[in-house]
């Protein structure tokens, strides 16, 4: 059910009967599903905002706010309008079922619940929820991609004019002129902007020059990326590298892209450990692909920050060098060659990024 064990799907159960929660705990734990329990309808809204569940079970009769009212309120909120909801009730009359469905529920279970039926519904609706989120993300990224592609090309045209003019002025201005240094600054920032523009093109899927690289290239790329990520720091950080990928393997990603990907990941780790620390880079083979796992012991991210971390232009710290494009850029590089990027982070416990790269 969960392709990524570090990011289990979540089921919220709201019922005033503790025995129901015990049943769900017993059923969901072997499935690797995270359970959120509410004993009344009043607490559902707050837990929904905290946990962002993939499936909700609501008891119809609860003290205070009943399940029907909770369901109606959830359907009015954009964040929960599409989350599958299953009503629980000891009353199985047709009118009761209709009331639940009219309130926005997807399904209805009559107590006493049958365990096999609950498991089947959990599996079905969690898969629906997963596919639904995947579709929404795909549509969102498609819209962003079109915008990024247009921006990148316009941006490049402007940069060519700025950089070219500054370089011509630099050649014509006397060497002792104070303006000469300003021309060099313009060229420097133009190059930085050009790097961001290239990242936009990768995010927009407008670039196809990935190439491939050997394990020796990978090791050199990791060393170069580390040196680049440490520029301007107090060098209180250390990189520990472990590689068990056979030397005969060739990765389906170019050396420059490997170095760029590792640089952005390492830079994030360095900034997350302001007082210094160790960054771990482990590399191994798994299912005919190369796994590059980078982890740190930094401050980590909240669930909200982690949910937004792969969105273009999102920043949870000041990083003018990548304008909030670092992680989305690395994910785009991986997906461009048929790989993937997974992120797992916990507040106060650090972050782990897993980069999967196919091999030739």
CB of 108 closer than 8 Å to CB of 97: yes
* Residue 129 placed within a domain: no
Q: What is the pLDDT of residues 28-42, one digit of tens each?
A: 999 999 999 999 999
Residue that is last in its domain, among 98, 113, 128? 113
| Structural domain span for residue 171 | 142-203
What's the whole-model pTM score? 0.49
Do 170 and 227 belong together in one domain?
Answer: no
* Residue 130 placed within a domain: no
Q: What is the pLDDT of residues 288-346, one digit of tens each?
A: 899 999 999 888 888 777 777 777 555 555 444 444 467 887 888 888 888 999 988 88
**Mean pLDDT lowest for which of 120-129, 212-221, 313-322?**
313-322
Number of neighbouring beta carbons within 10 Å of residue 268: 24
Do 248 and 312 belong together in one domain?
Answer: yes
The CATH number for 242's domain is: 3.30.565.10
Do 218 and 339 belong together in one domain?
Answer: yes
**Cα distances (Å, whole numbers) of residue 5 to 24, 212, 251:** 19, 30, 25
* Residue 197 placed within a domain: yes
Residue that is last in its domain, among 185, 203, 221? 203
Do 227 and 350 belong together in one domain?
Answer: yes
Do 58 and 157 belong together in one domain?
Answer: no
Residue that is last in its domain, among 153, 179, 203? 203
* Residue 258 placed within a domain: yes
Q: What is the pLDDT of residue 86?
A: 95
In this predicted structure, the answer to whether residue 270 has a pLDDT above a threshold of 60 is: yes
Number of domains in the chain: 3
């Amino acid at each position: 059910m969960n392709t990524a064990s570090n990011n289990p799907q979540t089921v919220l159960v709201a019922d005033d009967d503790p025995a129901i929660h015990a049943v769900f705990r017993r059923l969901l734990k072997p499935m690797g599903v995270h359970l959120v329990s509410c004993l009344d309808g009043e607490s559902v809204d707050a837990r929904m905002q905290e946990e962002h569940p993939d499936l909700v079970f609501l008891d119809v009769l609860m003290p205070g706010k009943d399940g029907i009212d909770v369901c109606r309120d959830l359907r009015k909120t954009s964040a929960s309008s599409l989350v599958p909801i299953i009503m629980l009730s000891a009353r199985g009359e047709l009118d009761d079922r209709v009331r639940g469905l009219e309130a926005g529920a997807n399904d209805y279970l009559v107590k006493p619940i049958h365990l096999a039926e609950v498991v089947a519904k959990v599996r079905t609706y969690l898969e629906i929820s997963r596919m639904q989120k995947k579709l929404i993300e795909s549509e969102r990224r498609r819209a962003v991609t079109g915008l990024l592609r247009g921006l990148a090309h316009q941006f490049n045209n402007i940069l060519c004019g700025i950089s070219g003019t500054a370089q011509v002025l630099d050649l014509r201005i006397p060497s002792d002129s104070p303006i000469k240094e300003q021309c060099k600054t313009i060229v420097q920032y133009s190059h930085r902007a050009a790097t961001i523009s290239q990242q936009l093109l990768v995010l927009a899927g407008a670039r196809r020059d990935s190439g491939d690289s050997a394990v020796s290239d990978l090791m050199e790329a990791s060393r170069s990326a580390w040196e680049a990520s440490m520029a301007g720091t107090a060098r209180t950080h250390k990189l520990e590298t472990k590689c068990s990928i056979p030397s005969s393997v060739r990765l389906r990603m170019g050396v420059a892209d490997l170095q760029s990907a590792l640089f952005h990941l390492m830079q994030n780790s360095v900034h997350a450990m302001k007082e210094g620390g160790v960054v771990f880079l482990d590399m191994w083979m798994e299912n005919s692909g190369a796994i590059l796992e980078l982890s740190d012991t930094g401050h980590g991210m909240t669930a909200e920050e982690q949910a937004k971390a792969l969105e273009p232009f999102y920043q949870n710290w000041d990083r003018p060098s990548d304008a909030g494009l670092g992680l989305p850029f690395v994910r785009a590089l991986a997906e461009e060659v048929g790989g993937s990027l997974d992120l797992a982070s916990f507040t106060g416990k650090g972050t782990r990024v897993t980069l999967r790269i196919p091999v030739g």
